[in-house]
Amino acid sequence: MRNRNAQLVTAARLARRHAHAPYSKFRVGAALLGRSGAVYTGCNVESSSYSLTICAERTAIFKAVSEGEHSFEAIAVVANTPEFTPPCGACRQVLLDLAGNIDVIMSNARGITSVVKLRELLPRAFSNKNLLKARRKR
């Protein structure tokens, strides 16, 4: 597991180099491990309108799904900050919907890592169960 985490962090660091962040200067890389063993990387890509910006985590998972991967084990997120950078709220929701309660490996600028389950970052999340309950009430 430790080796898996280190490999994902390295892949995320490499992906971070491709970030397009001319406005915020906040460059993020992500590496998502599929159950197949394949690793899908992503970086943040900013737009001048900001709302059209996409985060590294969503880039990685959309890339994976578009290539046919639908089961995941872990995602690493790397930013050049002294503290850990967790996925934003939108990314947490998308990851939970598409990947489930996977490990989230965060690594800071000093290379220190922290691993948490996605549900720890998004407790009481909205899910398909909420939609099913709404349909049954009709």
Q: Which residue has the tokens 């690793």?
A: 39
57, 69, 83, 120: the catalytic one is: 57
Would you call 46 a catalytic residue per the annotation?
A: no
* CA-wise closest residue to 6 among 42, 33, 27, 24: 33
Provide the Cα torsion 97, 99, 62, 132; round to 10°.
-20
Number of H helices, E strands in the chain: 5, 5
d(CA 120, CA 83): 18
d(CA 63, CA 68): 9
Q: Which secondary structure element, helix H or strand E, spans residue 15, and what is its range?
A: helix 2-16
Q: List residues with catalytic annotation.
A: 57
